[in-house]
Amino acid sequence: MSVKERKERERAERERLIVVTARELAEQQGWDAVTTRRLAERIEYSQPVLYSHFRGKREIIGAVALEGATEMAAAVRAATSGVDGPRERVAALARAYLDFAEHNPAVYDALFQLDGGLAYAREDTPEPLKDAFAALLECLGEAAGDGVHPGLFTEVFWAALHGLATLTRAGRLLPEDAGPRVELLVDRLAIV
């Protein structure tokens, strides 16, 4: 049996290698540069090997997205856990979210811009995605204000952060005023 186990282990390792390499390449040169040929060359296998792990490029993006969701959830929780006062917690969350988007643009795109073939906002949504939203909800729920559904408030706050993140990165907003924008957003949206 141990032969079979070894093979399975090696196979899992190679799958990790694919995802890690795809992410690396995407962060270095953008998702457009992540072609099946380049990716295959980097992992030192031929193209068809990729298709024995994933249905296609889309699923590879999806795998990077799931990895990113877990990290983002952790980053948000880490940034908010030790902060005193709900207002400052919300501000810390906002900064952590935008930091994540800025420093992991490819992962952020995989999560929220590209089609990774994942189900969102549904019953069968993968656990990491649900948990990422839960991480936002944990902190933002307490700033929703009376009579406002925490989930709804979280969605709106999240959308605002997403808008700031994407418009800034796409050159539609200048990065200079990023700080004041976040302050304004937190001051107005969060009820503390």
Partner DNA sequence: CTCGATTGTCTAGCGGTGCTAGAATCGAGT
Partner DNA sequence: ACTCGATTCTAGCACCGCTAGACAATCGAG
- Summarize as ranges the residues that interact with a second copy (CB under 8 A): 112-113, 119-121, 148, 152-153, 155-156, 158-164, 166-167, 170-174, 177, 180-181, 184-185, 188-189, 191
CB of residue 15 to a second copy, shortest distance in Å: 26
Of 37-45, 70-78, 132-140, 154-162: span binding DNA (CB under 7 A) = 37-45
CB of residue 2 to DNA, shortest distance in Å: 9
- Residue 45 interacts with DNA (CB under 7 A)? yes
Query: Which residues have a Cβ under 8 Å from the Cβ of 163 and sit 6 or more positions away?
Result: none
18 vs 136 by CB, closer to a second copy: 136
Dist. CA 167–CA 161, nearest whole Å? 10
Tokens of 103: 């420093």
- Residue 51 interacts with DNA (CB under 7 A)? yes
Quick one: which H or E segment has residue 85?
Answer: none
Query: Which residues have a Cβ under 8 Å from the Cβ of 181 and sit 6 or more positions away?
Result: 164, 173
Of DNA, a second copy, none, which one does residue 56 interact with (CB within 5 to 8 Å by kind)?
Answer: DNA
Of a second copy, DNA, none, which one does residue 178 interact with (CB within 5 to 8 Å by kind)?
Answer: none
Residue 115 DSSP SS3:
coil
CB of residue 7 to DNA, shortest distance in Å: 6
In the set 9, 52, 175, 187, which binds DNA (CB under 7 A)? Answer: 52
29 vs 81 by CB, closer to DNA: 29
Determine contact, residues 92/79, Cβ cutoff 8 Å.
yes
Dist. CA 136–CA 156, nearest whole Å? 11
Residue 56 DSSP SS3:
coil
Of DNA, a second copy, none, which one does residue 159 interact with (CB within 5 to 8 Å by kind)?
Answer: a second copy
**Amino acid in position 25:** L
Nearest to 76 by CA among 136, 129, 130: 136
Residues that bind DNA (CB under 7 A): 3, 7, 11, 34-38, 45-49, 51-52, 55-58
